[in-house]
Amino acid sequence: MHFQIEHTASTSPARSGLLHLAHGTVHTPAFMPVGTRATVKAMTTDEVAGLGYEMILANTFHLYLRPGDEAVRQLGGLHRFMNWNGPILTDSGGYQVFSLSKLRKMSEEGVEFASPIDGSRHLITPEKATAIQQNLGSDILMAFDECTPYPCAEADARKSMELTLRWLERSKAAWTNRDEQNLFGIVQGSVYAHLRAESARRTVELDLPGYAIGGLSVGETKEELYPALEVALAELPVGKPRYAMGVGTPEDFLECVERGVDLFDCVMPTRVARNGRAYVRGGTRNIRNSRYTLDPRPLDETCVCEACRHYSRAYLRHLYQCGEILSARLMTLHNLHFFKDCMTQLRQAIQTDSLPALRARWAAEKAAFEQAEVEEMA
Amino acid sequence: MHFQIEHTASTSPARSGLLHLAHGTVHTPAFMPVGTRATVKAMTTDEVAGLGYEMILANTFHLYLRPGDEAVRQLGGLHRFMNWNGPILTDSGGYQVFSLSKLRKMSEEGVEFASPIDGSRHLITPEKATAIQQNLGSDILMAFDECTPYPCAEADARKSMELTLRWLERSKAAWTNRDEQNLFGIVQGSVYAHLRAESARRTVELDLPGYAIGGLSVGETKEELYPALEVALAELPVGKPRYAMGVGTPEDFLECVERGVDLFDCVMPTRVARNGRAYVRGGTRNIRNSRYTLDPRPLDETCVCEACRHYSRAYLRHLYQCGEILSARLMTLHNLHFFKDCMTQLRQAIQTDSLPALRARWAAEKAAFEQAEVEEMA
């Protein structure tokens, strides 16, 4: 892996770069669509690539349970299995073990849990999570961490952070395929700035190819999120990629990019699409709304995605009302196009050192959208 | 509308032709994918066209209830609404009124029923069914008929046939947009050859642009189906298109084409795809089967569709097991590719006067498939 910074903003630590990985190069800052079970829901990989995405994320926890990492390995690895030729990042499964599994039993060794699919018992350890990701063959593997819930008392946050650091050492020791796969460590510490700083410092001591900020987007306020993020980022080496896990929305991207983040992932654009919500310039639009019943306009009149070029709000509402698969497809396509476009705008603004102008433009778009909504509702 | 017969087989009444309609030309024999609610389930119209399909079918009953034919008309008609630029055939809603609605009340006037969506009461008459289809703007509209169930006593079949004939006269009288839209009459008569013949004769007396055989694929045996079909087809004018409604499978296509049928529609390829069943050379394959868990081969090793070029049985089974939308997409894509390929083979066999050779080849493929299955299961 080689991370090449191209431009740095004059007004902030924002930077654009190229992340060279075994399966290709990623232009940063970049958003990774989430392909939980080796599929970005409702999309083919050709469509995802066609939107301009270069790297996607897949979930260790889900793929370990089904079809099993050993099966994926036998079938030629995750890239071949899911027909995605570009880089893949796999999360460690830590977050899912805590949010999705039942009958969890935590220990120093790892986490024992019951499968939500068939109730079978499993033990995931840092070594196991690393071995699974090596079987999957992802370009970036994440260290197995404990993701603290929100809110979390300071004493608990410290205890959890210490455990995550001990687990990180074990993950690193288990990481053997170092030429093709890159282990990222995860900074924890909840909303406590001094814990975030300490976590970052001690994670960096392990000298890994890249670093992630975990435990974000778990319910904390923006006022808690950004200071915690800033102190953590300040401790990370400038020359290595930084990944804000589970972040977020276009507004979050701008805030994080200005603080020096390079990589993002979030289920939001794909998940809300399936519930009928589209991201449009300045806001979101819920296609279930009855005011779209006879609306011949596209989701977003400035958008050039396939959904907006060919289909009306009225048709998309009809598809949603009927529970048609094409609804999920077109809404997902649109949202992923929108998110990619946001990233392209951010990257270009960094390269032309015009992030403040972009911030102003997005603010104006938000005001215009809200004004138009008020007028339409009147 | 202009129907141009290109070739006729020397061994049977099979013919290939060109059906010129307001929205384009259809190469016959042709299979029409079913787009019930103005969407071929799980597919974009670009994909359907990309597979080589030239005409699709949409459902009057469903679109009348949701979003309403008046809404579709206001939005520019069905072609624009669903982004399909080629010809569209709409059924009359007759079949669905009888199979899907509740609290039906039949009369000479028409059928009163309760909507399965919200329980609201509606009366569909021949005039209403014609008006709805004129609002939708389909290239071919079907006369409102009563589709007899199976089994059906002869006296009931005659009574129903007579009603369908009276309704046909009313449909024809209500059909006003004759330059752009073409009304097809529907031959009924259940499995009774003399009723089918009489129904066909009296339908032809109304001198319509084309004729359909209805009431097929409702549970009758092949031994009942083909004789009834033959006597009806014998009464239809050679120069006009013939449509076997709701038919069927590749084997049915061959039987019907050899008897002189030009058009087909069926939900089978799309519906079974969503249940994990793929049509392959010589048979079908149920992707849910656990023997595909580690199978790296494509669904059909001779197929060149996107699903077969890029994805293994193991991956497709994984998607199905996880309930992923991509499963429905790829399986549907494959089955529609397969059905289109069957039609292409049939058309080419007519044009080279080699239908018997095609029949022999399909029989050999079936034997080979069954032999391979036996060997794999052993």
Interface test with B, best of A70, A305, A315, A334 (most B CBs within 10 A): A315
Residues of chain A above pLDDT 90, percent: 92
Query: What pLDDT shows up at residue B343?
Result: 98
Interface of A with B (CB under 8 A): 37-39, 41-46, 66-67, 71, 74-76, 81-83, 293-294, 296, 306, 310-312, 314-315, 317-319, 321-322, 324-326, 328-330
Give residue for tokens 């392209």.
Answer: A344
Last residue of a domain, one of B248, B266, B284: B266
Q: Which element (helix H / strand E) includes A278?
A: strand A277-280
Q: What are phi and psi of A36, to 5 degrees?
A: -40, -60
How many residue pairs bridge chain A and chain B with CB atoms within 8 Å of each other? 106
Residue A322 lies in a domain: yes
pLDDT band for position A89 (cuts 50, 70, 90): very high
Look at A74 and B294 and tell me if their CB atoms are within 8 Å: yes
Nearest by CB to B66, from A41, A318, A330: name it: A318
pLDDT in tens, B357-373: 999 999 999 999 999 99
Distance from CA of A367 to the nearest CA of B (A): 30
Nearest residue to B145 via CA among B122, B121, B129: B129
Buried b (16+ CB within 10 A) or exposed e, B220-238: beeebbbebbbbbbebbee
CB of B187 closer than 8 Å to CB of B213? yes
CA A220 – CA A33 distance, rounded (Å): 23
In the listed set A266, A289, A316, which residue is the last one of a domain according to the structure? A266
> Which chain A residues are closer than 8 Å to B318 by Cβ?
37-38, 66-67, 81
In chain A, what residues touch B83 (CB-CB under 8 Å)?
310-311, 315
**Residue A91: strand, helix, or coil:** strand
Q: Are residues A289 and A313 in the same domain?
A: yes
Report the pLDDT value the prediction gives residue A340, as an integer from 0 to 100.
98
- B55 and B171 part of one domain: yes
Please count the helices (runs of H) and the strands (runs of E) in chain A. 15, 16
- Specify the pLDDT at position A264: 98
Cβ-based neighbours of A137, under 8 Å, separated by 6 or more: A72, A73, A77, A78, A79, A88, A180, A181
Specify the pLDDT at position A307: 98
Chain B residues within 8 A of A311 when measuring between CB atoms: 83
ipTM (interface predicted TM): 0.97
CB contact under 8 A, B324 and A37: yes
Residues A92 and A216 in one domain: yes
* Judgement on whether residues B290 and B205 belong to the same structural domain of the protein: no
Which chain B residues are within 8 Å of A37, Cβ to Cβ?
318-319, 322, 324
A183-200 pLDDT per residue, tens: 999 999 999 999 999 999
Catalytic-residue membership of B252? no
Tell me whether residue A249 is in a domain: yes
Last residue of a domain, one of B231, B266, B301: B266
Q: Enumerate chain B positions whose Cβ falls within 8 A of a Cβ in A.
A: 37-39, 41-46, 66-67, 71, 74-76, 81-83, 293-294, 296, 306, 310-312, 314-315, 317-319, 321-322, 324-326, 328-330
Which letter does DSSP use for residue A11 in this model? S
Same domain, B244 and B279: no
The phi, psi pair for B3, rounded to 5°, reads: -110, 120
User: Tokens 């924002």 sit at which residue?
Assistant: A14
Phi/psi of residue B74, each to 5°?
Answer: -60, -30
The verdict on A51 and A144 lying in the same domain is yes
- What residues contact residue B157 under an 8 Å CB cut-off, 6+ apart? B148, B188, B189, B190, B192, B195
| Residues A320 and A183 both lie in one domain | no
- A-chain CB neighbours of B321 within 8 Å are 66-67
**Which among B41, B314, B319 has CB closest to A39?**
B319
Phi, psi angles (nearest 5°) of residue A40: -70, 110
Regions in chain B scoring below 70 on pLDDT: none
Cβ contact B211:B203 at 8 Å: yes
Q: A47 and A108: one domain? A: yes
Question: How remote is the C-alpha of B57 from its chain's centroid?
Answer: 7
Please tell me which residue of chain B has the smallest CA distance to A310. B83
Whether A272 is in a domain gets the answer: no
Which residues in chain A touch residue B306, judged by CB atoms under 8 angstroms apart?
44, 46
- For the question of residue A91 being annotated catalytic, the response is yes
Is residue A235 assigned to a domain?
A: yes
- Amino acid identity of residue B335, one-letter, is N
Q: How many residues does chain A have?
A: 378
> Across the interface, do B326 and A75 touch by the CB < 8 Å criterion?
no
State residue A95's pLDDT score. 84
Same domain, yes or no, for B255 and B282?
no
B267 or A95, greater pLDDT: B267
Helical pair B325-351 and B355-377, crossing angle rounded to 10 deg: 140
Instruction: Judge: B75–A294 Cβ closer than 8 Å, yes or no.
Output: yes
Contact B132, B64 (CB under 8 A): yes
Pairing, β B56-59 against β B88-91: parallel
Provide DSSP, A300-331: STT--SHHHHH--HHHHHHHHHTT-HHHHHHH
Q: Which residue of B has its CA nearest to A39?
A: B326
Domain extent, residue A342, equals 277-377
CB contacts, 8 Å: A42 with chain B: 325-326, 329
Selecting from A71, A310, A324 the residue whose C-beta is nearest the C-beta of B83 gives A310
Q: Catalytic: which of A145, A252, A262, A265?
A: A265
Mutate to test the interface with B, among A318, A330, A331, A334 (most CBs of B within 10 A): A318
Q: Is A271 among the domain residues?
A: no
Half-sphere exposure of B61 (CA within 13 A, CB side): 22
* Rounded distance between C-alpha atoms, residue A242 and residue A35, angstroms: 20
Tell me what the mean pLDDT of segment A168-189 comes to.
97
CA geometry: angle B71, B73, B79, nearest 5 deg: 110
Q: Are residues B214 and B301 in the same domain?
A: no
Pick from A175, A107, A114, A177: nearest CA to A146: A107
- pTM tops 0.95: yes
CB contact under 8 A, B41 and A319: no
With beta carbons under 8 A apart, name residues in chain B contacting A56: none
Whether A169 maps to a domain, the answer reads: yes
pLDDT of residue B192: 95
Question: Would you say residue A209 lies in a domain?
Answer: yes
Q: Is there a domain that residue A47 lies in?
A: yes
Do B52 and B196 lie in one domain? The reply is: yes
Helices (H) and strands (E) in chain B, counts: 15, 17
Q: Which run of H or of E encompasses A111?
A: strand A111-114
Total count of domains within chain A: 2
Q: Are B294 and B266 in contact (CB under 8 A)?
A: no
Give residue A174's pLDDT band: very low, low, confident or very high (50, 70, 90).
Answer: very high
Compute CA A366 distance to the chain's CA centroid, rounded to the nearest angstrom: 23
B314 and A66: CB-CB below 8 Å?
no
The C-alpha angle with vertex A133 and arms to A29 and A219, in degrees rounded to 5, equals 55
For residues A25 and A111, state if they share a domain: yes
What CATH number is associated with residue B89? 3.20.20.105
> What is the reported pLDDT for B261?
98
Contact: B75, A296; criterion CB under 8 Å: yes
HSE-CB at B201 with a 13 A cutoff on CA atoms is 7
